[in-house]
Chains A and B, each alone.
Chain A
Amino acid sequence: MRRGGAGVNQAAGAYRTERWSGYVLLTAGAVAVVVPFLSVFLASMQPSGEPVVGMEWPQHWSLDNYRQAWTVAGFSSLMRSSALIAVGVVPASLVLAGLAGYALGTMRLPGGDGVAALFVAGLTIPVELIVVPLYFDLRSIGLTDSYLGVILVEIALFLPFSVFWMRTHFRTTPPELVEAARIDGASSWTVLFRVLLPLARPALTTLGVLVFMWSWNQFLLVLVLIQDATKRTAPAGLGFFVGQNNTDVPMLAAGTILVMLPITIVYVLFQRSFVAGLLQGAFKG
């Protein structure tokens, strides 16, 4: 590495070397990311029930393990549960957070900043803090072993980020837009639907895919709230199979790929939204 005071040409040379080493490292990193995924994929192509050693190229390619995971091991119903829950959580989150974010972001509500702070305070709530009483409370009103119970809790769990996200978005829309519509006599409802909502599409899309991801990946909550094996979600089912010390690695590898597939497809389709959200510090434990 060069010290300060080097000539411009020398410095440029140093830059170029570093840049190359940068790309070498980048590629090494990419390999490190790909290898684990590739090894699961290759394992899923091995003959069912046989032990898998290291990373082996399969003798012949077949989707038998996937078929078996889908039907015999019940991954089809696991995935359906996950999908049902996500279908409940995503639209509801968008509506609730959109409405709340609109009011907290564009209107001057008495005590509005305090309410917004209350939502923000929930940003770092770990599932561990709420899961214990939730089990007992929801059981007493019949919401354990129920998709509705999980859906409601997930919405609540993701709301701090969702409201924060939509509020931030609405605060950045030009105030003139709202004012102009107001002077024309539009109600706050009309302002939201006619003026602001069309502009909020990118923000809502990002929020939607993030909430879908968190819902699809949620594990601890489902593990506790859903005991009924027929209602388990995909990650919970996968965790359960592994916990049983199931030895049919190729079949489980196929199941693992199946669980990762939907979210990966959504990720690739909506990569801009994902990256925008994740890089702006979106997280949920």
Chain B
Amino acid sequence: MPEALETPVKDATQPGSVPAAESKPEKARSLWSDAWHDLRRNPLFVISAILIVFLLTMAAFPGLFTSADPRHADLANHYLQKPKWGNFFAPDWFGYDVQGRSIYARVIYGARASIAVGVIVTVLVTIVGTVTGMLAGYFGGWIDTLLSRITDIFFGVPFILGAMVVLTSFEERHVYVVILALAFLGWTQIARVARGSVITIKQADYVMAAKALGASTTRILLRHILPNAMAPVIVVATIALGGYISAEATLSFLGIGLAEPTVSWGVDISSGQEQLRNAAFVLIIPSIMVSITVLAFIMLGDAVRNALDPKLR
């Protein structure tokens, strides 16, 4: 807390942001360049970014990391063979699963499905949710009523249960089906959070002042409301990203998400849980991968939020 008080610069930015908004291009540039400046010096950001670049590379080019085929099964020789922790990057590094397949290869190849689900669902959900929530919160009246009721209808359907129903109606278990099912029901949370924070922000002095000075609605929404409302949205969205990767695993665990032959951490965790008493590494290794990925994205989110949110800078 004392550190925050020692940096008077940001205290000046907030109240001062209303008149400054008139010189909009400079302001925008400085907000983002300031953020970028902050981010680069934040070790949290640097490390999570490196981790994410690493994970994304893994998702895009799994062949760079292993030459083993994640589908190749050798039951007779490798059934639940224990990991050889010293054999870095070798197929037997993390041992073999119940089908006699290299867990290392599967973990590498599994990144694609899990990360795709997490990232794409989060992007879809954030766009739809923020737009809906912002419009509802800012305009109020019948727009709020209509949008809030639509949000309510979708929110009323419990997330996992609803996703189960949606997924059941698809015969094929492609990644995009899981993405659609999760996004279809997931946007409401962001919408509600965005609406709640817009309701608070629109009564702030600087918004009132901008209105009084005749700023257009679009400008108020994009320049004043959006940046200030994004903080809680980003917090929820980053946590939710992990949630979506977990949700994919949960749905696979319930036998209703992705399925073989798709290689995904969720699929492997769901097969691995049967070995919990027998060969726990089969469950633990993909679980750790999910956890690391979630951690990386949340740390990134935190860092970005700290940088973007003027109040915290």
Are A and B bound to each other? no
- A residues within 8 Å of B by Cβ? none
- B residues within 8 Å of A by Cβ? none
